Amino acid sequence: MSFDIQINNQTGVFDQLDHDIMLDGVGNPIILTGQNKLIQDIQKILFTTKNYFYNTYGTNIESLVGTNIGVDKTKSQLAEQVTNSLVYLQYLQNQQSQYQKVNANEIIGTIDSITVNYLPEIKTRNTSPSDVFTFRVAISITTAAQKPIVVTNNLSLA
């Protein structure tokens, strides 16, 4: 049986300021299993930046910050990076299930759709001369247990 420790996500936006481990009433970490674990696994891989030591896990969404490639090209690149990270997560889950019993609700069965929408109404000006552009990424998957899940997050790029 696989599990994960729940990470605080009270804002609904998974960002660098919101990564505290959630504790129960007696101070023990809250353990996630099933669909909740899968949703957190998806959020973790999307918001982990690939680096020299882990160049296959995560995304390069950070590389889009400061580019001036236009909204449509940014949407396309976001969708591509999300797709690549989910395919890799699916690969990792399949590898794990060969050696450990894994709940079928914790495994991506199929990636049904990835939608990236630009949210101009959330466009704001920060303290620097560049604008902040916000995109909503909606991921629709079906678990290996044939249960549909939709994961939605906003991404802001300067």
Does the structure show a pLDDT above 70 at 155?
Answer: yes
Give me the pLDDT at residue 109, please: 97
Q: What is the pTM of this model?
A: 0.81
Q: Express each pLDDT in 8-18 by its tens digit.
A: 654 444 444 45
φ, ψ of residue 109 to 5 degrees: the values are: -85, -55
- For residue 115 the two structure tokens come to 């939608």
Domain count, the chain: 1
pLDDT digits (tens, 9 = 90+) for 100-145: 999 999 999 999 999 999 888 765 555 454 567 888 999 999 999 9
CATH of the domain at 111: 3.10.450.40
Please name the residue that has the structure tokens 């449509």: 72
Query: Cα Rg for the chain, rounded, in angstroms?
Result: 17
Could you list the residue range(s) of the whole structural domain that residue 125 is in?
4-157
